[in-house]
Amino acid sequence: MQQSALRDRLDDALARASEVESQLADPAVTSQPARFAELGREHRRLSAVVEHAHRLTKVERDLAGSRELADGDDPEFAAEASADVERLEAEMEALEKALLPLLIPRDPLDDRPAIVEIRAGTGGDEAGLFAADLYRMYQRFIERKGWRIEPMSWSDGTLGGIKEAVFKVMGDGAFGVLRWESGVHRVQRVPATEAQGRIHTSAATVAVLPEAEEVDVRIEDKDLRIDVFRSSGPGGQSVNTTDSAVRITHIPTGIVVSQQDQKSQLQNKMKAMIVLRARLLDLRLSELEAERSRMRKSQVSTGDRSAKIRTYNFPQGRVTDHRIGLTLYDIARVMDGDVSPFLEALALADAEERLRA
């Protein structure tokens, strides 16, 4: 971690926090709801920086005093002060790590709701069961965050698994937190269908997209082919007996979105357009990310959605994130929704990389 770069960014952030506070008190700003709301969000983010900075200043002051005592002539005081130095140095390092992600310029998309798509990959029935496990893992994580889930599309697999699940996550910074989950998730375990007790490897893919607004992506009617058809599978009498299902094809890119979960054709079309808009925005962002990656090697976000990012090994009880080499030996806790250690470590690794850039 570059100490001088961190301190420079901290000074800039504190100056900006003071500036934002003054602007929020300006009557000319309070009369502009959109501007006032934008500054309010920035103020909340910078408040965390100010709080950490105050704690860091106190720790630095205490550390300087303890170091002075540790170099003194009194052996008893010196031994006690040396222990304080060790403790305070560790505390300062932890505060700097916590500060770093707060000091990196925030992607405006991070505050958007997230569109999450989970699909069964290679591995047959076991891949569908693993996809269902991932859905439950994220569901528990989202519940603990106090966020909300809005189902968008669901396709059942066999044996209680799923072929595909698409849902929107609404909460403070949802996309910014979940964006690191995009990629191939691999599982190694003995499937319920395996009679010989052999370990199989299966996979599921996860895509996390920022919800797109109409100003982000312009979609021309002439670029769309919209087909309607009768819904299949469970869903109630009206769903299965009317042509309510919708398939939208974006002709220039070939992206196809199908939606059949809602009772009316209009509701299905509206949800399909939300997903289509998010995929088109994600396509544009992926192209920008690929260009960025060509310019400098990225430690975390490669823009390659086919990359294997994490392995869940049940026999050994471990989960490994291959991007940062982090392994946790508590798979039950991870599958119960405790993915925060991975998300926090990934955010820190990305922040450190951007600080070096």
pLDDT surpasses 70 at 234: no
Q: Considering the domain boundaries, does residue 295 fall inside one?
A: no
Contacts of 98-101 with C-beta under 8 Å, sequence gap 24+, read 98/52, 99/6, 99/10, 99/49, 99/52, 99/53, 99/56, 100/1, 100/6, 100/348, 100/351, 100/352, 100/355, 101/347, 101/348, 101/350, 101/351
Tell me what the mean pLDDT of segment 34-43 comes to: 85
Examine the domain organization and report whether 97 and 114 are in the same domain: no
Examine the domain organization and report whether 305 and 280 are in the same domain: no
Contacts of 96-100 with C-beta under 8 Å, sequence gap 24+, read 96/1, 96/6, 96/56, 97/1, 97/348, 98/52, 99/6, 99/10, 99/49, 99/52, 99/53, 99/56, 100/1, 100/6, 100/348, 100/351, 100/352, 100/355
- The listed range with the strongest mean pLDDT (50-54, 122-126, 158-162, 229-233) is 50-54
φ, ψ for residue 318 (rounded to 5)? Answer: -125, 155
Work out how many domains the chain is built from and give that number: 3
Distance CA(274)–CA(257), nearest Å, equals: 10
Sign of CA dihedral 323, 325, 331, 333: negative
**Which of the two residues, 339 and 6, has the higher pLDDT score?**
339
Q: Number of helices and strands (H, E) in the chain?
A: 10, 11
Examine the domain organization and report whether 203 and 304 are in the same domain: yes
pLDDT bracket for residue 9 (50, 70, 90): confident
pLDDT over 70, % of the chain: 90
**Domain carrying residue 331:** 109-212+300-356
Going from the C-alpha of 230 to that of each of 167, 250, 308, the distances in angstroms are 22, 21, 36
Q: Considering the domain boundaries, does residue 292 fall inside one?
A: no
- Report the range of poorest mean pLDDT among 24-33, 61-70, 81-90, 256-265: 256-265
**Which of the two residues, 118 and 108, has the higher pLDDT score?**
118
- Report the range of poorest mean pLDDT among 8-12, 69-73, 236-240, 285-289: 236-240
Examine the domain organization and report whether 198 and 306 are in the same domain: yes
Examine the domain organization and report whether 60 and 195 are in the same domain: no
Average pLDDT taken over every residue of the chain: 86
Helix (H) or strand (E) holding 265: helix 265-295
Distance CA(220)–CA(276), nearest Å, equals: 13
Helix (H) or strand (E) holding 64: helix 33-70
Q: What is the pLDDT of residue 297?
A: 46
* Closest-CA residue to 186 (of 141, 120, 117): 120
What's the CATH code of the domain at 127? 3.30.70.1660
Examine the domain organization and report whether 33 and 98 are in the same domain: yes
Last residue of a domain, one of 285, 317, 334: 285
State the residue for tokens 């222990």: 83
**Which of the two residues, 121 and 214, has the higher pLDDT score?**
121
What's the CATH code of the domain at 45? 1.20.58
Examine the domain organization and report whether 126 and 11 are in the same domain: no
Last residue of a domain, one of 74, 103, 132: 103
> Tens of pLDDT along 287-331?
766 655 544 444 455 445 567 999 999 999 999 999 999 999 999
Q: How are beta strands 255-259 and 308-313 bridged, if at all?
A: unpaired
C-alpha distance across the termini of the chain, in Å: 12
pLDDT bracket for residue 132 (50, 70, 90): very high
pLDDT bracket for residue 265 (50, 70, 90): confident
**Token digits for 56?**
């860091």
Number of Cβ within 10 Å of residue 214's Cβ equals 9
Residue 245 bridge partners (DSSP): 229
Examine the domain organization and report whether 197 and 165 are in the same domain: yes
Residues making up the chain, counted from first to last: 357
